[in-house]
Amino acid sequence: MTKMRVAPALTLLMLLMSLPTSNLLQATLSSGAALAAGGITLQGTGATFPAPLYQRWFAEYNKLHSDVQINYQALGSGAGIKQFQQGLVDFGASDAAMTDEEMSQVKDGGVILLPMTAGSVVLAYNLPGGPSDLKLSRDAYVAIFLGKITTWNDPMIAKSNPGTTMPNTKITVVTRSDGSGTTFVFTSHLTAISDAWKSGPGAGKSVNFPVGVAGKGNPGVTALIKQTPGAIGYVEYGYAKQTGMPMATLENKSGKFVAVSQESEKAALASVQLPPDLRAWITDPADPSAYPIVTYTWILAHKKYPDAKIAQTLKSVLNYGLTQGQGFSVELGYIPLPASVVTEVSKAVDGIS
């Protein structure tokens, strides 16, 4: 390590000594600026929901800007908000937009919430001997997560799957063990469609599920479902897609059974308009063609950073995600942001200093 540091310094010194005196000052200033520019590392923590897309963005950005490293730890939305509040990271990430109270706990720099991508929460399942195109009514999947339906051949499930013999297999519900934006999105949807859920577990990043086993992060839930016959759990669509897991077709607000797809996701996004603070929740879209559980997911940034270099680098990374980065969305199971949303979020990014 010592030799690697000394060699460039000697080379620079020899180069400066070989220059005419008239050029020495300018060369010194230029080389000093280059050394000052150096490398930079951004630290981020938060949601596992968008992690595959964010990590792709950061890797691709690094290919274009080798002096910039972005370290993102997918520890869950709860951890992302907490570490951002504590000033431990340059940016956070959450599938649950920060509340006014949470934002008030950010001591310095203020907060800008940036919806950078969108995606769906799906009910992935592992059911040997069951259908590959399972349909679940709203009443059925609420009852499953309330623990009121315990076997896969329950009449409420069979009713939506005529002509299919459902196995008499015990249902194992899989949930999240960590503070999770995915949990917030899913339980907010359940709260919107079920009075029993609203007056029971309710909505939040962490709730007391009546039944089930828990895994950490979307990857942990995905792994538990895959290794547990009879399991069903809520995960981000990209994880289910990448691992080839079966996903249930769900009944939406209009009574239509809709599978997750780019078309059904875009229909859900179109049902809500982003307000000036860029916080919008799509708990139960009314469009007949909409998939019922779709959400934006947010990057948490400061309005003002003490280090201008950090601010400018983060702005550059975010603008990459809003432009070139959107091109990776479909491949990884996310929804490309509508042009109008990109415009509004780009204006917010410009406000970072």
Q: Where are the domains of the chain?
A: 41-118+294-350, 120-269
Domain 120-269 belongs in CATH node 3.40.190.10: yes
**Cβ neighbours around 350 below 10 Å, total:** 11
Instruction: Extract the runs of DSSP E, i.e. beta strands, from 177-305.
Output: 213-215, 231-236, 249-251, 257-258, 294-301
* Contact between residue 319 and residue 211 where contact means Cβ atoms under 8 Å apart: no
pLDDT per residue, tens digit, the chain (353 aa), is 333 333 333 333 333 333 343 333 333 233 233 323 469 999 999 999 999 999 999 999 999 999 999 999 999 999 999 999 999 999 999 999 999 999 999 988 899 999 999 999 999 999 999 998 999 999 999 999 999 999 999 999 999 999 999 999 999 999 999 989 999 999 999 999 999 999 999 999 999 999 999 999 999 999 999 999 999 999 999 889 989 999 999 999 999 999 999 999 999 999 888 999 999 999 999 999 999 999 999 999 999 999 999 999 999 999 999 999 999 999 999 999 999 999 999 999 999 99
What fold, for 41-118+294-350? D-Maltodextrin-Binding Protein; domain 2 (3.40.190)
Topology agreement, domain 41-118+294-350 and domain 120-269: yes
> What is the sign of the dihedral through the CA atoms of 70, 93, 189 and 218?
positive
Report the length, in residues, of the chain. Answer: 353
Structure tokens at 166: 């459902």
Q: What is the pTM of this model?
A: 0.84
Check the CA dihedral 256-261-262-266 and report its sign. positive
Do the bridges between strand 257-258 and strand 91-94 make them parallel or antiparallel, or are there none, so unpaired? Answer: unpaired
